[in-house]
Amino acid sequence: GHVRYAGQEININQPADAIKRGIAMLTEDRRATGILGVLSIADNVSIASLDKYLIGGILLDDKKVEKLVQDNVAKLSIKTPSSKTLIQSLSGGNQQKVLISRWLANNPDILIMDEPTRGIDVGAKYEIYQIMIDLAKQGKGIIMISSEMPELIGMSNRILVMCNGHITGEVQGEEATQERIMSYATKF
């Protein structure tokens, strides 16, 4: 569909179009539509940016991929024994950090995060929030979609409330309360 981005209208028909425009998305259900469970962490991190890690257009440069993974393991505090570890053996929080690494490899301007902390323990939630804050400080746009009201209120500088597919209200972060959000959520 048509989207306004950076002051111009662009056409996005498939995920590759969004990626080329600097838009990335972490899906809500990381197990069904995010991780590739039978593949390693290295494969999961590099799969969305393979063109950057090919030699002669056909062979994967294992050294470059390993550097990408190790940089992200350090930067995002991913707890894993090795880049060859299967992603399905990691905790939910570490799986989510691997998926964030996947999209950061493309250096997106906008990162859409759908329920970014669902099914993740409290410590990992804090780490994911810190990653989001750091990305925002670097000038990245973060669009968080969440059904957890405290998460929205604590993390957002602006909240758009939707009901039945329509935007029913906008609340600035400092004015956000559960009552105000709920009043908009039942408007349509």
CA 50-86-33 angle, to 5 degrees, is: 65
Find tokens 């992200």 and name the residue: 72
Contact partners, residue 47, CB within 8 Å, separation at least 6: 36, 39, 102
Supply the pLDDT for residue 1.
61
Supply the pLDDT for residue 3.
57
Supply the pLDDT for residue 140.
94
Supply the pLDDT for residue 4.
59
The letter for the amino acid at 44 is N
Supply the pLDDT for residue 188.
67
Flag whether pLDDT at 149 surpasses 70. yes
With bands split at pLDDT 50, 70 and 90, how would you rate the model's confidence at 59? Answer: confident
Give φ, ψ of 24 to 5 degrees: -130, 155
Distance in angstroms (rounded) separating the CA atoms of residues 73 and 85: 12
On average, the pLDDT of the chain sits at 90
